[in-house]
Structure 1
Amino acid sequence: MTRFTATSVLFAAVALTAVAGCASTQKHESTGQYIDDTAITTSVKAAIFNDPSLKSAEINVETYKGRVQLSGFVSSREKIERAVTVAQAVNGVTSVANDMRVK
């Protein structure tokens, strides 16, 4: 019986360590959040690419916990505003940080 108890305690400790290792903190994403952010980044890039007034090669997109950061250079203030509007319309985006510059 003691061998069963020791094995059970060891299994519980390993399971708890694995679950805690995948949990998110303020500065680290969980695995699920990383996958979600990757999907959001891809969706925002696709939306920008499909907008005829924007050049996707000039706009960089990064996502962390649903917060999208746009950076790069565009030719006018209107294109900056359009890129922010397009990014905000993507499902899963919680906020958009605009670091784009007019060249």
Structure 2
Amino acid sequence: MKYARAIAFAALAGITIISTGCAVGRGQQTAGSFVDDAAITTAVKAKYAADKSVAMTSIGVETLNGTVQLSGFAKSAAEKAQAEAIARDTKNVRAVRNDIVIRP
């Protein structure tokens, strides 16, 4: 009888999990979009590392649903613009929010 209850409970739990699936609520990401966003962030940072006109250690990059958020500090307007251009030219980027502050 103990085992029958345990099996019934496990079956009920399994059916509940399968029927609800991986529902995504407001403000959450699917696993796939999280992986895509991580790949975008990595690609942007790698391009910053290759471009000597952008100080990659001073600029933060975060991605959510294909939108890249840039933050941190730049030494000039040209550096800020270059950082944004690099992010925009990265594959799968939908939009760029450039909140980099110019600090001489």
Matching of residues 15-30 of structure 1 within 5 Å: 15-17=18-20, 19=21, 22-30=22-30
The size of the alignment, in residue pairs, is 94
Counterpart of 1:95 in structure 2 is 95
1:24 and 1:93 mapped to 2: Cα distance? 21
Counterpart of 2:17 in structure 1 is 14
Which amino acid counterpart does residue 84 of structure 1 have in structure 2?
A: E
Uncovered stretches (5+) of structure 2, i.e. residues with no partner: 1-7
2:41 matches 1:44: no
Counterpart of 2:4 in structure 1 is none
After TM superposition, give the deviation of residue 72 of structure 1 in Å: 0.5
Output the TM-score relative to the length of structure 2: 0.81
Greater helix content = 1
User: Which contiguous aligned blocks of 4+ residues in structure 1 show a shift greater than 6 angstroms?
Assistant: none
After TM superposition, give the deviation of residue 32 of structure 1 in Å: 1.0
> What root-mean-square deviation, in Å, do the aligned CA atoms of Structure 1 and Structure 2 show?
1.8
Uncovered stretches (5+) of structure 1, i.e. residues with no partner: 1-5
Counterpart of 2:83 in structure 1 is 83
After TM superposition, give the deviation of residue 55 of structure 1 in Å: 1.0
2:37 and 2:66 mapped to 1: Cα distance? 6
Output the TM-score relative to the length of structure 1: 0.82
Percentage of matched positions with identical amino acids: 38
2:61 and 2:68 mapped to 1: Cα distance? 7
Matching of residues 43-82 of structure 1 within 5 Å: 43-82=43-82
Q: Is the 8 A contact 1:23 1:29 kept in 2?
A: no
